[in-house]
A = this chain, B = another copy of it.
Amino acid sequence: MTNGSTDGITDGITIGQAAAFAGVTVKTIRHYHRYGLIDEPRRDSSGYRRYGSTDLLRLVQVRTLAGAGVPLAEIAAILDADPDRFAAALIDVEQQLTGRIDELIARRDMLQRLAGGDRALLPDRACALLDRMPGLGFTADDVTTVREALVLVRALVPEGFDNYLAQIERGLGDPRYVSLIQRCWRAGDWEPDDPRIDELAAALADHFLTDPSLLPVLTGLQDRDDGAIRYELLTHHGEDQKPAWARLTVLIEAHLCSAGIDITYQTPAD
């Protein structure tokens, strides 16, 4: 009785059925209606939407393009275009997809590099350097601080990074320099007015004067019009936690300056 022949069925399917057939949600279909991707079908006496096979076909077409990542805003134009533009549009979309794929692969590579410990954000050469440090007597804290410094240098003066790295590598080959640097790390925990700081600054400045190539100079900083800002940020990194370092820096600068070497950065205008 309820289905005399085909009445009520060939009249069209409801939105829920159409959604199930096309593999989308009811909400998605209504969304497509609002965007004009699918014409609103006729309504039955209850105001329900009734979809026919043609509507369903259109829905499947839209769904396929949307599922392929085509922005909804472009789908109507693509489906309603003549075959030539249809093909051209698809090629365009495909190229965008390729770009996004490449980008994601680059991200994944970056993450794989990140995953090898906290040694994030640095190229392999820098990681190798950090790996050598514990064997030379540096503590884990030391390594962390150096890593932070390297990250900062790379972010602030990328063009000088390789050079800076090379200088550190050479420095690690000089055992006396290494031991001085390690004393500097210890000095971080000293009181700012500890007399050993003066002593250490003198020794370090002396060593720099003996072998000026060890001076960590940031090449490329001078070419920046905001070089001074970057320099200040770098040299004073860590000083908020370790006030003794601030004094150490000042003393070393003073020693070198009185010996005729000015490593502080001057703005070009000065």
Contact = CB atoms under 8 A, between A and B. Distances in A.
8 A-B pairs closest in CB distance: A53-B237, A90-B115, A97-B108, A68-B107, A94-B111, A69-B107, A53-B233, A9-B232
**Listed residue (A83, A114, A156, A233) with the most chain B CB atoms within 10 angstroms of its CB:** A233
Given A64-B121, A232-B9, A151 B57 contact: yes
Contacts of A3: 228, 267
Contacts of A9: 228-229, 232
Interface string A103-141: 011011011101101101100000000000000000000
Interface of A: 3, 6, 9-10, 13, 17, 21-22, 52-54, 56-57, 60-61, 64-65, 67-70, 83, 86-87, 90-91, 93-94, 97-98, 100-101, 104-105, 107-108, 110-112, 114-115, 117-118, 120-121, 148, 151-152, 155-156, 226, 228-230, 232-234, 236-238, 240, 267
Contacts of A229: 9, 13, 17
A6 B232 contact: yes
B120 A64 contact: yes
Contacts of A13: 229, 233
Contact of A22 (B53, B56, B155): B155
